[in-house]
Chain A
Amino acid sequence: MLNALRRLPGLPFAALLTAVLCFAPCATQAQQNAGTAAPSPAAQAAAKPAASLEDRVAGLEAYINNADGTKTLPGVPGPGHNAWMMTSSALVLFMTLPGLALFYGGLVRRKNVLSVLAQCLGIAGLVAVLWWAFGYSLVFGKNFNSPFLGGSEFFFFNGVDSTPNTDYAFWVSQNVYAMFQLMFAIITPALIVGAIAERMKFSAVMVFVGCWMFLVYFPMAHMIWGISGFMNGIFNANAGIKAIDFAGGTVVHMTSGWSALVLCFIVGPRIGFKREPMPPHSLVLTMIGTGMLWVGWYGFNAGSAVAADVIAANAFTTTTLATAVAAFTWGVLEKLLRGKASVLGFCTGAVAGLVVITPACGFVNANGAVIIGVLAAALPYITVSALKPRLGYDDALDTFGVHGVGGTLGALMTGILATKQVNGNLKDEVLGRLFMSQVSAVIVTLVLATVATAVIAFALKAILGLRPTAEIESNGLDLADHGEEAYIS
């Protein structure tokens, strides 16, 4: 049985996809029934007596202020907010395809560049299917009444249409919101790929990501952002831990970074690690990818306001400042400590700045962002240039050093620098003991990510095997896993 599975690595996906597709028609049927049973919001609005002019103006003001306008405009998305969220969704996808793909692709050796691109593309497809079928509902549903997992009401996007889901946004269509959140779900596992680059079988990566989404990402995203989430300090008054995370410092960067560390220990170092040179094959690609990540990150951070409002404007500003300061600081540190400021250093500093400001961008002001920028360069710099060589783990592209360390730092700094002058949703009782809440959230995230990753990785190692043969690894994964070469000369 085990041998058969090894020989047919595509089998688990095929089985998964078939199962999902078989489910879908039943769910769609239920959706149609639901559609005929309840009158559409527009019809409801038409049936009501005409609203007074004051109420109608109040509805429009609510649209401008991103407040509740459902009294006169129920079920209507606001065009401006919706436009920004569709733009943001595209920007966040752009971070993975091709931003992260090129950032990582340039850092590996030329024989493995396609394997990194294929992993990013494969993850985009796999996660989109999981998201449509179960993921969105498990994160943003609520009929489980659970602080740890959402619900089943939105399985197969049942009822996810252009009407806003007012649990999350008054003016953004729920399907747009679901697409925006899908892009986060895609980039998070794609970040992990950096730690095990150049040495993990494509099939093993895909199965790992499929399991990881259910055990780590969906529960974590619900806990932080779900309306009934265990650690949603902003919108869930009953949250067990009243933590805050604006755009995903814990959900995205801590989960991927700490999982990456555990996974790279279990997978083991690349053949020849520390004995032969493994320099990046194209820092030009890495630079292009960095620029795309920075641009795309405006959708990630400013888009996380889920509106084109004052908080989004603040997030846009803090994201820019922290990133620029971190990139420059990293270059300065290199110049002072090594004599030369490198392109890879500037790029790494920029990404570290983006990571650390992520949880904070909608809660801190410009000065806070500059402080975060300096620390965002310093701590990951020490991790990748001093700690990693000493500990000897092969985090090939420094997913842990940048995203694990940066995400953790960001969560803690948010606890120190958040201010309600920037974000009126911050209640005094949350701010009062915010730092301790952030520490608790960091511990929960860290434990969930590392334990679940270890369980999945050891299980996969036994059933499917994680690595290709030594011969395949030294020839490069591109030919063996994908039958292609990146550069024909």
Chain B
Amino acid sequence: MKKIEAIIKPFKLEEVKEALSDLGIEGMTVTEVKGFGRQKGHTEIYRGSEYTVDFLPKIKIEVVLADSMVDAATGAVVKAAKTGKIGDGKVFVYAIEEAIRIRTDETGEKAI
């Protein structure tokens, strides 16, 4: 099992969700996050006062999958989230040791 963690532009969330659903992926966790990479922040000016806002709003999607699905899923996320401009985000893949479905006590790939 693997976990895909993708940081994307907020307005791309719907497209990424659709792309993952099309692969038959049935669940995901979405969090509103803030951060910066090479894109950096932006400047706000209030009368004479200028502030640099370092952290930009992003969406973090977490999906846990069977190993066989990982390549297709990462490919789908990258394709759906891409605008080609700076700030599109990143995808990370983690190894997952165990999964348990609380309702049924199922474990492993059956639980995801």
Question: Which A residues are closer than 8 A to B by beta carbons?
Answer: 277-280, 338, 342, 344-345, 348, 384-386, 388-389, 398, 401
Give A384 to B52 CA distance when docked, in angstroms.
Answer: 19
What's the least CB distance linking B54 to chain A, in Å?
10
Are B51 and A385 neighbours in the complex by a CB distance under 8 Å? no
Would you give 21 A-B contacts (Cβ < 8 Å), ordered by A?
Answer: A277-B51, A277-B52, A278-B51, A279-B44, A279-B46, A279-B49, A279-B51, A280-B46, A338-B45, A342-B46, A344-B46, A344-B47, A345-B47, A384-B48, A385-B47, A386-B48, A388-B48, A389-B48, A389-B49, A398-B47, A401-B47
B52's nearest neighbour on chain A, judged by CB, is A277
Chain B residues numbered 23-68 whose CB sits less than 8 Å from any CB in chain A: 44-49, 51-53
Are A278 and B45 neighbours in the complex by a CB distance under 8 Å? no
Interface centre among B45, B46, B47, B48 (most CB of A within 10 A): B47
Which residues on A sit within 8 Å (CB–CB) of B48? 384-386, 388-389
Give A274 to B52 CA distance when docked, in angstroms.
Answer: 12
Q: Is the interface of B mostly helix, strand, loop or mixed?
A: strand
Are A342 and B45 neighbours in the complex by a CB distance under 8 Å? yes
Chain B residues numbered 48-95 whose CB sits less than 8 Å from any CB in chain A: 48-49, 51-53
What's the least CB distance linking B36 to chain A, in Å?
15
A278's nearest neighbour on chain B, judged by CB, is B49
Give A388 to B51 CA distance when docked, in angstroms.
Answer: 16
Give A327 to B49 CA distance when docked, in angstroms.
Answer: 19
B: interface residue count bin: under 10
Give A18 to B53 CA distance when docked, in angstroms.
Answer: 51
What's the least CB distance linking A429 to chain B, in Å?
42
A389's nearest neighbour on chain B, judged by CB, is B48
What's the least CB distance linking B35 to chain A, in Å?
17
What's the least CB distance linking A80 to chain B, in Å?
42
Which residues on B sit within 8 Å (CB–CB) of A279? 44, 46, 49, 51
| Those 6 A-B pairs whose CB atoms lie nearest each other, nearest first | A277-B51, A385-B48, A384-B47, A389-B48, A388-B48, A384-B48
What's the least CB distance linking B42 to chain A, in Å?
12
What's the least CB distance linking A348 to chain B, in Å?
6
Which residues on A sit within 8 Å (CB–CB) of B45? 338, 342
Give A280 to B51 CA distance when docked, in angstroms.
Answer: 11
B47's nearest neighbour on chain A, judged by CB, is A384
What's the least CB distance linking B40 to chain A, in Å?
15
What's the least CB distance linking A107 to chain B, in Å?
8
Which residues on B sit within 8 Å (CB–CB) of A280? 46
Which residues on B sit within 8 Å (CB–CB) of A385? 47-48
Which residues on B sit within 8 Å (CB–CB) of A345? 47
What's the least CB distance linking B98 to chain A, in Å?
36
Give A342 to B46 CA distance when docked, in angstroms.
Answer: 8
A386's nearest neighbour on chain B, judged by CB, is B48
B54's nearest neighbour on chain A, judged by CB, is A277
Which residues on A sit within 8 Å (CB–CB) of B47? 344-345, 348, 384-385, 398, 401
Give A338 to B43 CA distance when docked, in angstroms.
Answer: 12
Which residues on B sit within 8 Å (CB–CB) of A278? 49, 51
What's the least CB distance linking A129 to chain B, in Å?
35
What's the least CB distance linking B69 to chain A, in Å?
38
Interface centre among A277, A342, A384 (most CB of B within 10 A): A277
Give A385 to B45 CA distance when docked, in angstroms.
Answer: 10
Which residues on A sit within 8 Å (CB–CB) of B51? 277-279
Give A14 to B48 CA distance when docked, in angstroms.
Answer: 40
What's the least CB distance linking B46 to chain A, in Å?
6
Give A401 to B48 CA distance when docked, in angstroms.
Answer: 11
Which residues on B sit within 8 Å (CB–CB) of A342? 45-46
Which residues on B sit within 8 Å (CB–CB) of A389? 48-49
What's the least CB distance linking B87 to chain A, in Å?
20
